[in-house]
Structure formats: structure tokens, C-alpha cells
Amino acid sequence: MTRIEVYADIVCPFTHVGLRRLRQAREARDSHTAVRVRAWPLELINGAPLAAEVVAREVDGLRAQIAPELFAGFDRDAFPSTSLPAFGLAAAAYLVNDAIGEAVSFAVRDALFEEGRDIADPEVVHAIGCRFGITPLDDRAAEAAVRTDWERGKARGVKGSPHFFVAGRDWFCPSLEIHHEHGRYDIGLDLDTLHEFYATAFH
């Protein structure tokens, strides 16, 4: 069975939009293609966690220009200091199967972007895991799982978050055209590339 793999950071709002739209496209085509969301840990790649104010500007741009239905509960004051615990929860879920892993990967992003919850808080991570019968990995195992995905992504030529792979092809952020200047984001839809991606993923 075809499987879509995507390398992404949990706190990346562009990924949140891309995954939500991907799920909608899959449902519209009555497809059962699995989605494996792998860690692309920007806080390790950049040497520091993403700043809440930077992500908040990205969220504002996406909500105003592309996705007014998303980010309803985003709260910059609850922005997590790290993504690693949530990555560890998703990694534990994928050890069960792709369906549970995908569901948890969506759930941690919904908790952050739609519910305004701090996904670095162990209680929040544990509560999400309980919904799916998943015990989060401990800190050491979580970081090891993240680094394994990171090394795999580097070997595959991942450019950033999100980067999708399916059927021997790959697309970096296939749905969006993003321009950033003077602190403002101009974001448009790249429909041609998006349709090409969906045609390959859901053929």
C-alpha cells in the first residue's frame, strides 16, 4: 500500500495546514493511504526552540490569507518550550501502527494550534496519550527517536518543514507559496503543485 511520509516539526503552522488539507483530500477521494509523520526537529537543527512571536506571525498570516477556519484557539502565551515530549508521544504511537501514529500526530498539533495547550507540559502530553492508549516515551528515548528521524531526513535531502515523500517523489511545502519580508508573510496557494502532489499520493 502507498504510504505518504512527511518530515515536519510539530510547532510548524505550515505543517498544520498541510496535514489538515491532506486529510481532507484523502477523505474526498475515499483513499486509505497511510501518513507517517516523522520528526524534523527545528529546535535541534537551529540550536534553539522556535520563538513564540515568530510562529504567531506565521499563524496570523495563514489565518488571514489561507486558512481562516484554523488556529482558532492558538495562544502564544501557551507556546511550548520544546517539541521533544510531543515527538516522543507520536513515536510511541507509531510503534503500535500507522493509524494510531497518524492520529496522535494530528492530536498534538490540534492541542497546540486549535486548543491553545502547552504540548511541552508532561500532563498535557500524558492526557493526549491516554486518549489513544499510548504511554509517552521518556525524555531520553524521545530524543533518540527524534534524532533517528532527523538523520533519516538528512539522508533523504529534507529541505524543511513540511517535506512530503510518496511514490519515489518529494515535495517541500507543496500547497503554499510563502514570501517573508519586513516581518510580514505573504502566503498564496500553489494549486498546480498541490494537485500534482495529490494525484501522485491518491492515484
pLDDT at position 180: 65
The full DSSP string for 11-77 is T-HHHHHHHHHHHHHHHHTT---EEEEEE--HHHHSSSPPPHHHHHHHHHHHHHHT-TTS-TT--GG
pLDDT for the residue 26: 94
pLDDT for the residue 193: 85
Residue 55 falls in which region: left (phi positive, over 0), alpha (psi -120 to 50) or beta: alpha
- Cα–Cα distance for residue pair 37/56, rounded to 1 Å: 23
- Judged by DSSP in three states, 184 sits in strand
* 187 close to 176: Cβ distance less than 8 angstroms: yes
Q: Which DSSP symbol is given to 154?
A: H
> What pLDDT was estimated at residue 194?
84
What are the structural domains of the chain?
A: 3-201 (3.40.30.10)
Residue 144's pLDDT is what? 97
> What is the residue-level pLDDT of the chain in tens, covering all 203 positions?
679 999 999 999 999 999 999 999 999 999 999 999 999 999 999 999 999 999 999 999 899 888 999 999 999 999 999 999 999 999 999 999 999 999 999 999 999 999 999 999 999 999 999 999 999 999 999 999 999 999 999 999 999 999 999 999 999 988 766 666 656 666 677 778 888 999 999 87
* pLDDT value, residue 66: 87
